[in-house]
Amino acid sequence: MKIIDIIESTRPIKSDIRNAYIDFSKMTLSLVAVVTDVVRDGKPVIGYGFNSNGRYGQGSLIRERFRPRVLEAAPATLLDETGDNIDPHKVWACMMSNEKPGGHGERSVAVGTIDMAVWDAVAKIEQKPLYELLAQRYGNGQANPRVFVYAAGGYYHPGKGLDGLRHEMTSYLERGYSVVKMKIGGASLAEDMARIESVLKLLQPGQQLAVDANGRFDLPTAIDYGKALSAYPLFWYEEAGDPLDYELQARLGEVYQGSLATGENLFSMQDAQPDPPWRHAA
Amino acid sequence: MKIIDIIESTRPIKSDIRNAYIDFSKMTLSLVAVVTDVVRDGKPVIGYGFNSNGRYGQGSLIRERFRPRVLEAAPATLLDETGDNIDPHKVWACMMSNEKPGGHGERSVAVGTIDMAVWDAVAKIEQKPLYELLAQRYGNGQANPRVFVYAAGGYYHPGKGLDGLRHEMTSYLERGYSVVKMKIGGASLAEDMARIESVLKLLQPGQQLAVDANGRFDLPTAIDYGKALSAYPLFWYEEAGDPLDYELQARLGEVYQGSLATGENLFSMQDAQPDPPWRHAA
């Protein structure tokens, strides 16, 4: 068995929304199909993947570097020990061959999107949902069919106003979301506080609000917001500063007592390494 | 005045050399020309840039994101306060608009290559060498026309052997280089020590050898090499481990007393932030 093709299509997902850092007027994403020669129910098994909103489609990198490496590899080198399925770790290593360490940016989007599609194909070949397969391979064998979700929105949008924000958030709550999230940092602190308070008034017991600054703040601003946000029972305060500014995150944690969220803009294991204990031993 | 075009050409620089981490059999780079409407000596002023070997050409990102942003910007927004030249900082900010923070990889290559070409154009428009312009704007006004250079080579190459390595290094020394650099980490420690010793024997007083592991080693291997390399008077020991593994670099510094080099695979100011003093104050 083998992967016979990797097909990418870059699609526009443009919108006139913006967060505190970027607008989405020219945003694109990549759709990827990993086509195998395995046939199930008379049809070829195809895994699908897509990349998250915000980092643009990466079709060129896929076509220039990652697709050719996978298709040029000897098929047997990409299979697991049974020989009946793909080994996603071997495909990942193949894609990352002849890539220098460090500088984890666009290529992690390209590789991650293909990786998602490979895992989808692997689960389809095993004829079980991916979450069950992952629980069996890496968990305790018991897949949990329930997962926490929340409604992320509350973007800045021309002419939206507090009414538009309340209308949007109400629509999420009415659909059953118990946690809603809104953007902050794209307006003044006073204006953002008014936006937050207008949404908090909509919440019933058991419903909560999270806020997301998308990395916009420097340390003084992050702390000013942290102090102001401390007045509210927020679900979390997300990505106050630059995702690589660990000092800002640590200092903010000293003054903001609620939950902090960050990490979605770290793209390598190295970037997410915990502070080593020996640093503190001296 | 304005930038009227940004032209990119991706060129193969393939070679059968390899370092400890990657081979260069499919390596490419980007050549960039920033074309202005300024005429000097009857010809348009064009700035040129290229990206370093190892991170592949980034023509697609340039064409998809960075070139359009610059060409779509109102020309006056990219000029310095005199209005007679381009402001490279404004061009950089324009290119990075609607780019999320963090994840500094391929786009830093694309932006950096254009940035190099923009600075070349700026110096040509001012009709002085760029090093003089930089000394005047950011230094003490006195440009130093002398710069340290060394010959970086000593790659692994099929059939090269010690004779081939000595021949290569001798050719650099004969051309007047006082420091030569060779790759390590692509062979066993014993084999690398033999390679290093064979080169050290070529050196005359005033000549030195640096070694470069290109990020290949884990901490124990980095330290094993560090102990073995301590026997030699090396110019430096470069990039022992992953460029983002600051812990490895710090620990290696505790056991290797010679000079260490690293940093060429850090692509953002955030990645190069010094360890904040407050960490050590507790």
User: Each residue of A18-76: pLDDT tens digit?
Assistant: 888 888 999 999 999 999 999 998 999 999 999 988 999 999 999 999 999 999 999 99
Question: What confidence score (pLDDT) does residue B13 get?
Answer: 92
Looking at chain A, which residues constitute the CATH 3.30.390.10 domain(s)?
Answer: 3-138
Nearest Cα residue to B109 out of A266, A265, A103, A149: A103
Give the number of beta-carbon pairs within 8 Å between A and B.
Answer: 124
SS3 B210: strand
In the structure, what pLDDT confidence band is assigned to residue B281 with cuts at 50, 70 and 90?
low
Question: What confidence score (pLDDT) does residue B277 get?
Answer: 63
- Whether B179 and B152 have beta carbons less than 8 Å apart is answered as no
Separation CA A63–CA A109 (nearest Å): 13
Question: What confidence score (pLDDT) does residue B282 get?
Answer: 46
Mean pLDDT of B46-70: 96
Nearest Cα residue to B22 out of B228, B265, B275: B265
Backbone angles phi, psi at A9, to 5 degrees: -135, 125
Question: Is A98 in Cβ contact with B245 (below 8 Å)?
Answer: no
Separation CA B180–CA B165 (nearest Å): 11
On the question of pLDDT at A128 being above 90, the answer is yes
Mean pLDDT of B231-241: 97
In the structure, what pLDDT confidence band is assigned to residue A281 with cuts at 50, 70 and 90?
low
pLDDT mean across residues, chain B: 95
- pLDDT of B140-173, one tens digit each? 999 999 999 999 999 998 888 999 999 999 999 9
Chain A within 8 Å of B279 (Cβ-Cβ)? yes
Chain A within 8 Å of B23 (Cβ-Cβ)? yes
Looking at chain A, which residues constitute the CATH 3.20.20.120 domain(s)?
Answer: 151-272
- Whether B102 and A265 have beta carbons less than 8 Å apart is answered as yes
In the structure, what pLDDT confidence band is assigned to residue B209 with cuts at 50, 70 and 90?
very high
Nearest Cα residue to A88 out of A119, A67, A114: A119
Beta strands in chain A (DSSP E): 3-12, 28-40, 43-50, 151-152, 179-183, 208-212, 237-238, 260-261
Tokens 């607008």 belong to A23
On the question of pLDDT at A280 being above 90, the answer is no
Mean pLDDT of A171-186: 98
Of 3.20.20.450, 3.40.640.10, 2.40.50.180, 3.20.20.120, which CATH number belongs to B151-272?
Answer: 3.20.20.120
Question: What confidence score (pLDDT) does residue B16 get?
Answer: 86
* Cβ contacts of B23 on chain A, cutoff 8 Å: 98
Chain A within 8 Å of B126 (Cβ-Cβ)? no
Chain B within 8 Å of A126 (Cβ-Cβ)? no
Q: Which residues have C-beta within 8 Å of that of residue B161, sequence separation ≥ 6?
A: none
Of 3.30.390.10, 1.10.150.20, 3.30.2320.50, 3.30.565.10, which CATH number belongs to B3-138?
Answer: 3.30.390.10
Separation CA B223–CA B229 (nearest Å): 9
The token duo for A131 is 């979450």
Nearest Cα residue to A242 out of A264, A260, A217: A217
Q: What is the DSSP letter of A78?
A: G
Question: What confidence score (pLDDT) does residue A79 get?
Answer: 98
Chain A within 8 Å of B219 (Cβ-Cβ)? no
Which residue among A22, A244, A278 places its CB closest to the CB of B102? A244
Question: What confidence score (pLDDT) does residue A277 get?
Answer: 63
Asked if the interface predicted TM-score (ipTM) of this complex is over 0.90, the answer is yes
Which residue among A60, A104, A280 places its CB closest to the CB of B105? A104
Q: Which residues have C-beta within 8 Å of that of residue A134, sequence separation ≥ 6?
A: A143
Separation CA A239–CA A245 (nearest Å): 10
In the structure, what pLDDT confidence band is assigned to residue A282 with cuts at 50, 70 and 90?
very low
Q: To the nearest whole angstrom, how far is the Cα of B23 from the nearest Cα of chain A?
A: 6
Question: Is B215 in Cβ contact with A102 (below 8 Å)?
Answer: yes
Q: Which residues have C-beta within 8 Å of that of residue A32, sequence separation ≥ 6?
A: A6, A7, A8, A48, A49, A50, A62, A113, A114, A116, A117
Is the sign of the CA dihedral B227, B228, B233, B237 positive or negative? negative
Question: What confidence score (pLDDT) does residue B74 get?
Answer: 98
Residue of B nearest to A272 (CA): B244
Q: Which residues have C-beta within 8 Å of that of residue B226, sequence separation ≥ 6?
A: B237, B240, B252, B255, B256
Distance of CA B119 to the CA centre of its chain: 16
* Cβ contacts of A247 on chain B, cutoff 8 Å: 273, 276, 278-279
Question: What confidence score (pLDDT) does residue B272 get?
Answer: 87
Mean pLDDT of A254-282: 83
Mean pLDDT of B118-135: 97
| Region for residue B277 given its phi and psi (left: phi exceeds 0; alpha: psi -120 to 50; beta: otherwise) | alpha
Question: What confidence score (pLDDT) does residue B276 get?
Answer: 66
Q: Which positions 58-97 of B are in contact with A (Cβ < 8 Å)?
A: 59-61, 64-65, 97
- pLDDT of A235-266, one tens digit each? 999 999 999 999 999 999 999 999 999 999 99
